[in-house]
Amino acid sequence: MHFNPYGGAAAELAAALVNTDPGAGAGELLELLREHGYKPLGVLDEDQARELTAWAARLSPVFDRTPDQVDLVNDLLATAAARPYVSTHDDRPPHLHFAPEHAPTAQRVRAFTAAGLAHVVCEDPGRLGRCARPGCGTVYVDTSRNGRRRFCGTRCANRVHVARHRTRTP
C-alpha cells in the first residue's frame, strides 16, 4: 500500500519508537532517527530522549486496533501538533510540516509521528498492528499489498506456524 510521507515514513518511525528499548539514550534514538531518514535531524539531549521514550509509550496503544483508536490519535495530535505549514528544507520539494523546523527535535518528532498515525488511521486503520505471536508485542505498519499482515516478521510467523504444525502432528 502506498502512503503519503506522513502516513508512511512517519507511521513507521512511530512503530520504531514503540519497538525501541525504553532505556534507550539520546545516541541510540538519534541513530534510530537517522535510520528512518528523519530530517532535519538536529540535536537530541538526554532530557529530549526521555521525552521521546515517554512519547513512544503514548504511541503504543494506537497499534492495538481498539475501538478508541481515533480518540487515542486525536489525543496525540492535540498534545503534539502545531499549525501545519509548507517547508522546503534540505533542497527538498515543498512538503508539509506540523512543527517548526527549528523546534527541539523531540517536539518535531512528536508532531511528525502523531500526524503519520493520523494519516494511516484515516486511510486504513487496519494497517497498524501488533505481532500476533504470543509474547512478542512488536508493532508494525502493514504496507503489504493485501493488508493481511499479522506478524512483525518472518521469524515470528514461522514460530507460530511451526508450533501449530507440531500440535497437529502425532
Which residues does 23 contact at the CB level (< 8 Å), separation at least 6?
Answer: 53
Helix (H, G, I), strand (E, B) or coil at 73: helix
The region that residue 38 occupies, defined by phi over 0 for left and psi between -120 and 50 for alpha, beta otherwise, is beta
Which residues does 68 contact at the CB level (< 8 Å), separation at least 6?
Answer: none
C-alpha span between 50 and 54 (Å, rounded): 6
Mean pLDDT of the chain: 89
Residue 82 placed within a domain: yes
> Which pLDDT belongs to residue 4?
57
Tell me the CATH number at 28. 1.10.3300.10
Q: What is the tally of structural domains in the chain? A: 1
> Which pLDDT belongs to residue 163?
75
C-alpha span between 15 and 1 (Å, rounded): 17
C-alpha span between 168 and 82 (Å, rounded): 54
> Which pLDDT belongs to residue 27?
94
20 by Cβ neighbours in 10 Å (0-12 / 13-18 / 19+) ranks as middle
Residue 151 placed within a domain: no
> Which pLDDT belongs to residue 40?
73
pLDDT at 148 over 60: yes
> Which pLDDT belongs to residue 168?
79
In terms of residue numbers, what domain contains 104? Answer: 6-128
| Residue 12 one-letter amino acid | E
Residue 153 placed within a domain: no
Residue 147 placed within a domain: no
Pick from 25-34, 42-51, 152-161: least confident: 152-161
The grid coordinates listed for 107 are: 517536539
pTM: 0.88
Residue 141 placed within a domain: no
> Which pLDDT belongs to residue 83?
77
> Which pLDDT belongs to residue 54?
97
Residue 118 placed within a domain: yes
